[in-house]
Amino acid sequence: MALITKTQIRALCGIGTDIVDDTKLDNIITEVENKTLNYFGVNPTPKKMIEILDGNNKNTIMINKPYILKLLELKVSDNSIDLSNVTINIKSGIITIDNTKNPYIFLPYKNGIKLKYLSGFMDKDTTSITEIDTGVSAGSSVEIVVDDESIFEEDDWVLIEGTDGKREVAQITAVSSDNSSITVDLLVQDHEEESIVIKMKTDDSYIQFLLYETALSTSITAVGGSYNFATGYTFPEYSVQKGVPYSHFVKAINDLEKQRDIVKNKLFSKINVMA
């Protein structure tokens, strides 16, 4: 599923279907989304990752990729760790074992730490927050009774966190027909009554970069120019194309490039601070 739409792109760059048709624009959107994923090295939506690390003889360790949304499996020297007593810092990627309950540390063995987790460059949608009415236990296909389920839809990602320090992201698989609860795919921890449930969304700066980068690529395509992702472009000689003054396109392209670069620098700063 595309993270941005053709309507958004056309509104931003002013290019109609008579200049760049929908099929071509769909291809541009797909290309930009794929290249952006590789360029920045973060997942815009949750994806499963596996990492193997050396131990450090402590009860905390930092993974190599920031924005760890949910820990799915943790092994220390091939011993599986009870995830109910493990906490994560989403943005920094720091994992902590409560070794007063789980008698383990990250033993200092090479390649001794094996992790599977969900990683995604996502943030809280602060307009969509509710509370759990009754506590829930870890498991698959867990039904959660919440104060306001109308703010959620099937396939939404939500963050569940409480004052007990437990926090994880899960995906909604169903919203009840009587509008009383949601069902999520998997919980690896128990969550107490009055824990909050917050809808998650791809980070705004990532979406803004996609919009400007795609609008820029679309505008350059409209005048027959060539473009190298996020680095530079060339124009054909001055001309009038399809009745639209070339010079107007050039100004619009330069403006889009400036806005794209502002967002790109902000995005790099966010990712690098957390990495």
Sequence-distant (≥ 6) Cβ neighbours of residue 209 within 8 angstroms: 36, 260, 263, 264, 267
Q: For 187-240, what is the HEC assignment?
A: ECCCECCCCEEEEEEECHHHHHHHHHHHHHHHHHHHCCCEEECCCEEECCCCCE
The dihedrals phi and psi of 72, each to the nearest 5 degrees, come to -100, -30
pLDDT digits (tens, 9 = 90+) for 19-77: 899 999 999 999 999 999 999 989 999 999 999 999 999 999 999 877 899 999 999 99
The three-class DSSP label of residue 19 is coil
d(CA 76, CA 114): 7
Domain ranges of the chain: 6-42+204-274, 47-119, 122-201
**Whether the model pTM is above 0.75:** yes
Structure tokens given for 2: 């595309």
pLDDT band at 275 (very low <50, low <70, confident <90, very high): very low
Q: Across residues 81-88, what is the average pLDDT?
A: 90
- Averaged pLDDT score across all residues of the chain: 88
- Residue 225's pLDDT is 59
Q: What is d(CA 178, CA 191) in angstroms, rounded to the nearest whole number?
A: 23
Pick the CATH number of 122-201 from 3.40.630.30, 2.40.30.270, 1.10.3720.10, 2.40.160.20: 2.40.30.270
Higher pLDDT, 139 or 100: 139
**Which pair of structure tokens corresponds to residue 35?**
């290249």
Judge contact between 129 and 97, C-beta under 8 A. Answer: no
Task: Tokens for 140, please give them.
Answer: 């698959």
Q: Which tens digits make up the pLDDT trace of 144-168?
A: 999 988 899 999 999 999 998 889 9
Q: Write the DSSP string, 119-176.
A: E--EEEEEEEEEEBSS-B-SEEEEEEEBS--TT--TT-EEEEE-TTS-EEEEEEEEE-
